[in-house]
């Protein structure tokens, strides 16, 4: 079993009446709410937390890309990983990911990811999401109907740029380049592992399975609907003639570990409420621009996910419905094993900081998870399978040491 520490880097100072006075946390959220001095503090605290996770032996540390929002302060996750590459030594550096269709030309992603692979000594994992409708269609003005076609062309260009040793011309529908010749080149051959984050679009499953990539279902609606999504993915894997290796699947889960179940509520209820009621305050008209979801996906979703359905949820709902797995180490272990086995996932993305959780409680949550939960999961799950989607770094003697303070 692989356990990764995932950070969203939210803005923690949204007012209590944010949901009543502001229509959305995304796209049109007022920049007057952002205090750059507090941003300085948050970024450095968050980097400390990711470095702490590396020191505790998490398999990977993860960041992602979002725009025009207070939900996650990482318009450029590659900048975050660049800082971490010099200050960590153990964990894989995972970007989930760069929204390919937003880059003109996409070889910028190939170049930056190759740099990160070199700086980190081959610890890099590249994630290629299509991107949320809020980010792609509204914040960056991409046309919904052509978004996925542009995304796939960008993917093909990046992979060829990584693997073709000689300069070449690329003449696509959206990208025309007379000379493609990226420097530097990635350490990992033929290229860094490619992981595809998804939110339930059915055509993504077949595409991922065809390319033999790792699919990461990133959802905040709990493990109950996620089991149906992952069932659809594994059926796509079967259609492609691939094996059911759990490591080709990942899942994101909010987790809160404390001394007892009762203490977990005291520690994490406020942060969970902040996350679901402020960080995910997104009206449906931003969440899916017309044409963003394909007809195939719309027909397949019995009840499309809506952020608006989160508005009235309380701590009891979060825990009982699987939005948050929280409690004593024993409680968290039992529920995680049940969920992981049900969905057959080998890559667990643990959201151990969420909402406005304090630095102190984040450290507590991370440490308890690393000491009381993570070893149990590794011992109990999927040791008979090989993780073929992990990075392959240089040997330790060939890598530069961690930067000294």
Q: Is residue 230 a contact partner of residue 344, using CB atoms and an 8 Å limit?
A: yes
CATH number corresponding to 2-396: 3.20.20.30
pLDDT given for residue 310 in this prediction: 87
Question: 93-139 pLDDT, tens per residue?
Answer: 999 989 999 999 999 999 999 999 999 999 999 999 999 999 999 99
How many Å apart are CA 101 and CA 203, to the nearest integer? 17
Residue with tokens 């992990």, as numbered in its chain: 390
| Alpha-helical regions (H) of 127-189 | 133, 147-163
How many Å apart are CA 377 and CA 251, to the nearest integer? 14
Give yes or no for residue 295 having a pLDDT over 90.
Answer: no
Residues 6+ apart with CB under 8 A from 57: 90, 91, 370, 374
Question: 39-98 pLDDT, tens per residue?
Answer: 999 999 999 999 999 999 999 999 999 999 999 999 999 999 999 999 999 999 999 989
How many Å apart are CA 28 and CA 31, to the nearest integer? 9
Whose CA is closest to 249, among 284, 214, 281? 214
- Cα 347 to Cα 100, 264, 273, distances in angstroms: 23, 24, 26
pLDDT given for residue 403 in this prediction: 67
The three-state secondary structure class of 3 is strand
With cut-offs at 50, 70 and 90, classify the pLDDT of residue 302. Answer: low
What are the backbone angles phi and psi of residue 375, rounded to the nearest 5°? -60, -35
**350 - beta bridge partners?**
5, 253
Whose CA is closest to 350, among 68, 1, 15? 1
With cut-offs at 50, 70 and 90, classify the pLDDT of residue 304. Answer: low
Omega cis (within 30) before 97: yes
Give yes or no for residue 211 having a pLDDT over 70.
Answer: yes
Question: 229-273 pLDDT, tens per residue?
Answer: 999 999 999 999 999 999 999 999 999 999 999 999 999 999 999
Question: 338-350 pLDDT, tens per residue?
Answer: 999 999 999 999 9
pLDDT > 70: percent of the chain: 98
Describe the crossing of helices 329-343 and 223-239 by its angle, rounded to 10 degrees. 30
Token code pair at residue 88: 């960590």
Average pLDDT, rounded, for the chain: 95
Give yes or no for residue 215 having a pLDDT over 80.
Answer: yes
pLDDT given for residue 404 in this prediction: 62
pLDDT given for residue 337 in this prediction: 97
With cut-offs at 50, 70 and 90, classify the pLDDT of residue 360. Answer: very high
pLDDT given for residue 200 in this prediction: 77
pLDDT given for residue 312 in this prediction: 87
Residue with tokens 């999401």, as numbered in its chain: 129
Domain boundaries, the chain: 2-396
355: left (phi over 0), alpha (psi -120 to 50) or beta: left
How many Å apart are CA 191 and CA 54, to the nearest integer? 23
Give yes or no for residue 405 having a pLDDT over 70.
Answer: no
Question: 138-197 pLDDT, tens per residue?
Answer: 999 999 999 999 999 999 999 999 999 999 999 999 999 999 999 999 999 999 999 999
Give yes or no for residue 38 having a pLDDT over 70.
Answer: yes
Residues 6+ apart with CB under 8 A from 349: 4, 6, 62, 96, 216, 218, 250, 251, 252, 253
In Å, how far from its chain's centre is CA 269?
23
What are the backbone angles phi and psi of residue 209, rounded to the nearest 5°? -65, -40
Beta-carbon count within 10 A of 55 CB: 13
- Under DSSP, the state recorded for 155 is H
């Amino acid at each position: 079993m692989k356990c990764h520490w995932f950070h969203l880097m939210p803005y923690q100072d949204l007012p209590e009446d944010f949901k009543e006075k502001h229509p959305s946390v995304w796209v049109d959220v007022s920049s007057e709410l952002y205090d750059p001095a507090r941003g300085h503090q948050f970024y450095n605290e968050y980097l400390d937390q990711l470095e702490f996770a590396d020191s505790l032996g998490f398999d990977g540390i993860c960041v992602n890309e979002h725009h025009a929002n207070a939900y996650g302060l990482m318009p450029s996750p590659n900048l975050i990983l660049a800082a971490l590459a010099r200050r960590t030594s153990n964990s894989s550096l995972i970007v989930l990911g760069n929204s390919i269709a937003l880059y003109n030309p996409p070889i910028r992603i190939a170049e930056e990811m190759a740099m990160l692979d070199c700086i980190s000594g081959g610890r890099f994992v590249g994630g290629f999401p299509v991107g949320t409708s809020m980010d792609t269609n509204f914040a960056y003005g991409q046309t919904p109907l052509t978004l996925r076609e542009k995304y796939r062309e960008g993917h093909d260009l990046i992979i060829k740029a990584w693997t073709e040793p000689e300069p070449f011309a690329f003449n696509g529908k959206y990208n025309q380049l007379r000379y493609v010749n990226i420097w530097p080149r990635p350490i990992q051959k033929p290229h860094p592992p490619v992981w595809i984050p998804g939110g339930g679009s059915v055509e993504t499953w077949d595409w991922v399975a065809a390319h033999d990539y790792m699919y990461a279902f990133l959802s905040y609606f709990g493990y109950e609907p996620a089991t149906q999504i992952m069932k659809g993915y594994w059926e796509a894997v079967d259609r492609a003639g691939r094996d059911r290796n759990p490591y080709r699947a990942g899942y994101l889960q909010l987790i809160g570990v404390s001394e007892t179940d009762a203490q977990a509520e005291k520690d994490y209820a406020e942060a969970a409420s902040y996350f679901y009621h402020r960080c995910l305050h997104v009206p449906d008209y931003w969440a899916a621009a017309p044409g963003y979801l394909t007809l195939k996906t719309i027909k397949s979703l019995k009840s499309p996910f809506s952020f608006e359905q989160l508005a009235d949820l309380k701590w009891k709902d979060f825990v009982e419905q699987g939005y948050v797995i929280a409690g004593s180490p024993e409680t968290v272990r039992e529920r995680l094993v049940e969920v992981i086995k049900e969905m057959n996932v080998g890559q667990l993305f643990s959201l151990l900081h969420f909402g406005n959780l304090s630095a102190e409680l984040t450290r507590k949550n991370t440490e308890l998870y690393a000491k009381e939960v993570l070893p149990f999961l590794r011992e109990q799950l999927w040791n008979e399978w090989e993780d073929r989607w992990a990075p392959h770094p240089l040997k330790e003697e060939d890598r530069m040491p961690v930067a000294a303070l």
